[in-house]
Structure 1
Amino acid sequence: MATLDDLRRTAVTLPGSEERATMGGAAWFVRGKLYAWQCHPWPSIPEDMREIIASELVVGVKVADPVDALALVQMAPDVFLRTTTAWSEPKVAFRMAGIADDHLAELVMEAWRVQAPKYLRREFDSRDAD
């Protein structure tokens, strides 16, 4: 089962990434833009999703396109939740208990890429090439 510490291990390797405590839990930003967050059962979330979020660890990440989020939900509907709110679209939320560590790292890195400025993406890519 993936944990927030697993997410942190990936996030700390991403240039410009910072973790902040929010009212809803932990959240990760790159240059002030949110890319991953611990979901909280806010009243604006549909009741069935709110029950899941209240009972287990759920994380949300930004995605490049709503089609990407839909594909993940259709691929593993027991892990990926349908849209929780209309805010911060496009995004996808998932149950941490159902995510393998390597898939978590991939989701976090891709979310960071969606939000990171080009110069930070180039920095990360050049570091990866070395």
Structure 2
Amino acid sequence: MADWDDVARTCLALPETSEGTTRGWRQWQVRTKGFVWERPLGTKDAAELGDAAPTGPVVAAYVPDDGAKAALLAAEPEVYFTTSHFDGYPIVLCRLDELDQQSLTELAAEAWACRAPRRLVAEHPSPADRTAAVRQGRSGR
């Protein structure tokens, strides 16, 4: 499954991204906005999650809205989770060692699109966006 090198490679393949650190944790940004980051669990998080707390690495990522967050949490609770710290925020936590490359790629691309300036997103539509545009009779360019 995925590791931090996979996360770095996947995020840095997206337009105008960079890697940095925040509080000593790795973070990937589009221009100046973080979209994916390393998020170790704190004492409060671990206590809240109890036996369900992951023991491996945790990655956090933006999602489009609370509906998308709820859908991920419901569809794959063994991969995606949250804590009360993120209530009201369109952010999901992931057990990195449970993410396959395709899921990581989709998660990173979606997080990037959530945080990138609209113009940049329009200049670099995802493959899914281009496919939808062709089906609707629009040019993806």
* TM-score, normalised relative to structure 2: 0.78
Q: 1:76 to 1:105 in 2, by over 3 A?
A: same
Matched, 1:100 2:82: no
CA apart distance, 1:4: 1.2
Compare 29-38 and 77-86 and name the one that shifted more. Answer: 77-86
One-letter amino acid of the structure 2 residue matched with residue 125 of structure 1: P
User: How many residues end up aligned between the 2 structures?
Assistant: 129
2:26 corresponds in structure 1 to 26
The CA RMSD over aligned residues, in Å, is 2.6
Q: Within 1, Cα distance between the matches of 2:126 and 2:94?
A: 30
Residue equivalent to 2:35: 35
What is the deviation of 1:15?
A: 1.5
Return the offset for 1:26: 0.6
User: Within 1, Cα distance between the matches of 2:101 and 2:113?
Assistant: 18
Between 1 and 2, higher relative CO (CA 8 Å, sep ≥ 6) is seen in 1
Structure 2 segments unaligned to the other structure (5+ residues): 131-139
Alpha-carbon distance in 2 for matches of 1:47, 1:9: 32
* Matches of 1:74 and 1:24, distance apart in 2: 31
How far apart are the structure 2 equivalents of 1:108 and 1:24?
20
Per-residue deviation, 1:94: 0.7
Equivalent residue for 1:70? 70
Report the CA distance between 1:123 and its aligned residue: 2.6
Deviation per CA, 1:103-127, whole angstroms, max 9, x where unpaired?
1000000000000002211232399
CA deviation map 1:66-110 (0-9, x unaligned)? 111111111111111133513781110010111110110000000
Question: SS at the partner of 2:27?
Answer: strand
TM norm structure 1 = 0.84
Percent identity reads: 30
Closer, same or farther in 2 for the Cα pair 1:37/1:50, shift >3 Å? farther
